């Protein structure tokens, strides 16, 4: 389904734990990829809505957020996403919406490739006010989801995604693809296909046009994410979520990994 309205309410508690229970009121906050204002859903009165800005590629989600939280700020970022905004503009720059004390991205870079993630992280760091913090989540294919939520089946999130897109895969195919993903430093799962960290795979998935509404999931090991952002602090998942978190401070070193756009 394109542009779904998220019903998740765990984002605030997740980032509150990751960031050490900061004082939220009085801070300018950008919820990048925040859907319909999901951070506010669990924040109660911890966040002043006038200091909150949500930016998302889903027009329907942004319009829903404006109706639900009229004092908050909502910006439609009309950038291409095969999964959520296939009619958007490719490589559209992030608009200048001011400076922020906190830039938070929950389950955003889990849906784009490595090159685009690095580009967007560098752009988001430029939106930080002095002393500001950028925190974004990522999934590690090697992480067992049941460690965060015992109600979930044991194993990698990759298996769940592949089982959703099982049209051309037998159970044996899924076993093989999951094993392949868990051996990789990074991989992308697009519907029933897995692309891993080899030059051929990398090129083939990044230059493709994509199908509207396709399932697109990105996975990075903790060590590989640390190599991309050497000045970052990497945090373990906060239950019941199974995503790790990468935290970067304003004024840190530039990313060590630089790659030209295909």
| 107, 234: one domain | yes
- Averaged pLDDT, 53-73: 97
Domain of residue 60 covers 11-140+224-249
Q: Is cis: bond before 240, omega within 30 of 0?
A: yes
pLDDT band at 254 (very low <50, low <70, confident <90, very high): very low
pLDDT band at 4 (very low <50, low <70, confident <90, very high): confident
| 230, 106: one domain | yes
Q: What does the pLDDT read at residue 203?
A: 56
* CATH code, domain carrying 70: 3.40.50.150
The string of pLDDT tens digits covering residues 8-43 is 889 999 999 999 999 999 999 999 999 999 999 899
The string of pLDDT tens digits covering residues 74-83 is 999 999 999 9
Closest to 38 measured CA to CA, from 5, 82, 75, 81: 5
Has residue 1 been placed in a domain? no
Strand partners, 31: 54, 104
| 103, 172: one domain | no
Query: For the chain, how many structural domains are there in total?
Result: 2
Q: What does the pLDDT read at residue 164?
A: 80
Has residue 156 been placed in a domain? yes
Question: How deeply is 130 buried, as exposed, middle or buried, from its count of CB atoms within 10 A (0-12, 13-18, 19+)?
Answer: exposed
The string of pLDDT tens digits covering residues 107-125 is 999 999 899 999 999 999 9
| 124, 58: one domain | yes
Is pTM beyond 0.95 here?
A: no
| 237, 212: one domain | no
Q: Count CB neighbours of 68 within 10 A.
A: 14
Q: What does the pLDDT read at residue 52?
A: 98
With a cut of 70, say whether residue 262 has pLDDT above it.
no
Has residue 41 been placed in a domain? yes
With a cut of 90, say whether residue 253 has pLDDT above it.
no
Has residue 171 been placed in a domain? yes
The string of pLDDT tens digits covering residues 162-200 is 888 776 667 768 989 999 999 999 999 998 888 988 766
Mean pLDDT of the chain: 90
| 174, 236: one domain | no
| 215, 239: one domain | no
- Averaged pLDDT, 221-242: 97
Q: What does the pLDDT read at residue 49?
A: 98
| 239, 199: one domain | no
Has residue 262 been placed in a domain? no
Has residue 257 been placed in a domain? no
Q: What does the pLDDT read at residue 102?
A: 98
| 93, 175: one domain | no
Has residue 191 been placed in a domain? yes
| 95, 116: one domain | yes
- Averaged pLDDT, 120-145: 97
Has residue 215 been placed in a domain? yes
The more confident residue out of 214 and 26 is 26
Q: What does the pLDDT read at residue 191?
A: 87
């Amino acid at each position: 389904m394109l542009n779904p309205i998220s019903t998740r309410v765990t984002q605030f508690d997740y980032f509150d734990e990751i960031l050490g229970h900061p004082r939220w009121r009085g801070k300018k906050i950008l919820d990048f990829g925040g859907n319909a204002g999901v951070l506010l859903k669990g924040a109660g009165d911890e966040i002043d809505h006038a200091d909150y800005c949500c930016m998302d590629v889903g027009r329907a989600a942004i319009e829903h957020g404006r109706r639900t939280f009229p004092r908050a700020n909502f910006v439609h970022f009309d950038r291409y996403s095969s999964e959520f905004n296939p009619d958007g503009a490719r490589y559209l720059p992030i608009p200048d919406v001011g400076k922020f004390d906190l830039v938070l991205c929950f389950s955003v870079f889990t849906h784009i490739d490595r090159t685009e993630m690095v580009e967007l992280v560098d752009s988001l760091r430029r939106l930080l006010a002095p002393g500001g913090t950028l925190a974004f989540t990522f999934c590690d294919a090697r992480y067992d989801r049941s460690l965060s939520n015992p109600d979930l089946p044991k194993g990698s999130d990759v298996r769940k995604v592949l089982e959703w897109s099982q049209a051309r895969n037998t159970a044996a195919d899924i076993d093989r693809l999951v094993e392949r993903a868990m051996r990789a430093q990074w991989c992308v799962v697009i519907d029933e296909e897995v692309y891993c960290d080899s030059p051929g795979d990398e090129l083939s998935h990044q230059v493709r046009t994509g199908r509207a509404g396709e399932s697109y999931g990105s996975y990075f090991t903790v060590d590989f994410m640390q190599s991309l952002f050497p000045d970052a602090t990497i945090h373990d998942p906060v239950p019941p979520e199974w995503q790790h978190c990468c935290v970067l401070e304003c004024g840190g070193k530039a990313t060590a990994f630089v790659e030209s756009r295909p």
